[in-house]
Amino acid sequence: MPAPPPTVLQVLPALGQGGVERGTVEIARAIVEAGGRALVASAGGPMVAELEAVGARHLALPLNRKNPVALLAGAVALARLVRAERVRIVHARSRFPAWSALMAARATGARYVTTYHGSYNEGFPGKRLYNSVMARGDRVIAISDYIAGLVRARHGVGPDRLRVIPRGVDPARFDPSAVEPARLAALRRAWGLPEGRPLILMPARLTRWKGQAVLLCAVRMLDGPRPHIVLAGDDQGRAAYRAELEGLAAESGATVRLPGPVADMPAALALADIVIHASTDAEAFGRTVIEAQAMRRPVIASDLGAPRETVEEGVTGWRVPPGDPAALAAAMSRVLSMPTEARDGVGRAARAAVLERYTTRAMQDATLAVYRELA
């Protein structure tokens, strides 16, 4: 049996509802289940209760503040915490608090791990230096081969420190056989979508680069009766963009719903005839893609970033040029016109690929292996 992981402190600004936060809880659970101690320092948030339910301990620090005084205060507080709790590994998951975490680790002798979660733009002078904190770990975890390539090119991190650990999905939760018909019916009623037309789902927060406008423009190009469209995601206060989407929806000729965040995502995916990923910027990973594939749903994704790794053209889904409504419309038409058996075959191949490469358990085991390397 492998040795238990050491005491690990994960550091991030807050525990909101995003993918970084979800990954933090999943790794904390794995540490506890393996017999280690899992600590998380953040400013708090709605996922604190879930974190504590898996046996981890949350330590409230104002790590969401971005100014030089807060950076130094965070470093002092984290160093004090590392010493008091005998932390062996500090794992930073976001850039600004990562600077505090780096200083604390160096001051105390703790090992320093980072997860490079995004492509992190470099649009103004000094940004590469700011981003470089995520490449300074004793081990640097990249969440996809695409991100690993960026880390190598921008920061010169070699194979001695760089580890590729893709995001994962829980195949028990995202299992089409586990979704009862009553859940599907309830969701369809909540959305007010009668049966009889295909349903196209796009699960993504409402922000321009996610490509909701591209999908609505593509829908206008479809021949025949329009499918139902569901844009499932939080607008996060982007009222102007939401209003723009509502205008495009009115012009599309389709029934379009913008229900906000969806609690029962497995059921939402199970209802969908096609799941769309239409990002116009490169996605660091794209967990919604593998969630849809785990549910055996046909996926059409933008042909850039990490979906090139998770979507094998014509085998586990399809890829189209980003920001191209005509290409997306043509792909949707092809998929909707496919025989049911052929579409189901792609869905089965997609779930098999997820089970082989992209499970939460695989992500957890690989991360624990990094901790054990350093300990």
pLDDT at 2 over 80: no
Confidence of residue 19 (pLDDT cuts 50, 70, 90): confident
Confidence of residue 225 (pLDDT cuts 50, 70, 90): confident
Q: What is the pLDDT of residue 138?
A: 98
Determine the Cα–Cα distance for residues 37 and 4; give it in Å rounded to an integer: 9
**CATH topology classification for 176-357:** Rossmann fold (3.40.50)
Per-residue pLDDT, averaged over 247-263, amounts to 93
The answer to whether 279 and 305 have CB atoms below 8 angstroms apart is yes
Angle, helices 19-33/360-374, rounded to nearest 10 degrees: 70
Tell me the three state secondary structure of residue 142.
strand
Determine the Cα–Cα distance for residues 18 and 39; give it in Å rounded to an integer: 19
Confidence of residue 24 (pLDDT cuts 50, 70, 90): very high
Tell me the three state secondary structure of residue 50.
helix
Which two tokens mark 350? Answer: 């997609």
State which H helix or E strand residue 231 sits in: strand 228-232
Per-residue pLDDT, averaged over 179-193, amounts to 95
Nearest to 88 by CA among 127, 37, 145, 52: 37
pLDDT at 173 over 90: yes
**pLDDT tens profile 124-161:** 888 999 999 999 999 999 999 999 999 999 999 999 99
pLDDT at 229 over 80: yes
Per-residue pLDDT, averaged over 239-260, amounts to 94
Q: What is the pLDDT of residue 18?
A: 81
Nearest to 357 by CA among 314, 309, 317: 309
| Candidates 3.40.50.2000, 2.40.240.20, 3.40.50.280, 3.40.50.11900; CATH matching 8-168+359-374 | 3.40.50.2000
Q: What is the dihedral of CA 288, 294, 300, 301, to 10 degrees?
A: 40
Q: What is the pLDDT of residue 124?
A: 82
Determine the Cα–Cα distance for residues 113 and 8; give it in Å rounded to an integer: 10
Phi, psi of 126, deg, nearest 5:
90, -10
**pLDDT tens profile 241-251:** 999 999 999 99
What's the mean pLDDT when you consider all of the chain? Answer: 95
pLDDT at 1 over 80: no
> For 301, what's the count of Cα atoms within 13 Å in the CB-facing half-sphere?
33
Per-residue pLDDT, averaged over 47-53, amounts to 96
The answer to whether 230 and 215 have CB atoms below 8 angstroms apart is no
Determine the Cα–Cα distance for residues 280 and 206; give it in Å rounded to an integer: 13
Tell me the three state secondary structure of residue 311.
coil
State which H helix or E strand residue 178 sits in: none
Q: What is the pLDDT of residue 343?
A: 94
Nearest to 216 by CA among 260, 250, 241: 250
Q: Which residues pair with 58 in a beta bridge?
A: 40
Per-residue pLDDT, averaged over 367-371, amounts to 97
Determine the Cα–Cα distance for residues 291 and 40; give it in Å rounded to an integer: 26
Determine the Cα–Cα distance for residues 206 and 260; give it in Å rounded to an integer: 9
Domain boundaries, the chain: 8-168+359-374, 176-357
Nearest to 273 by CA among 354, 357, 336: 336
Contacts of 212 (CB under 8 A, 6+ apart): 202, 204, 206, 231, 245, 278
Kindly tell me the number of DSSP H helices and DSSP E strands found in the chain. 15, 13
Confidence of residue 33 (pLDDT cuts 50, 70, 90): very high
Per-residue pLDDT, averaged over 343-361, amounts to 97
Q: What is the pLDDT of residue 6?
A: 86
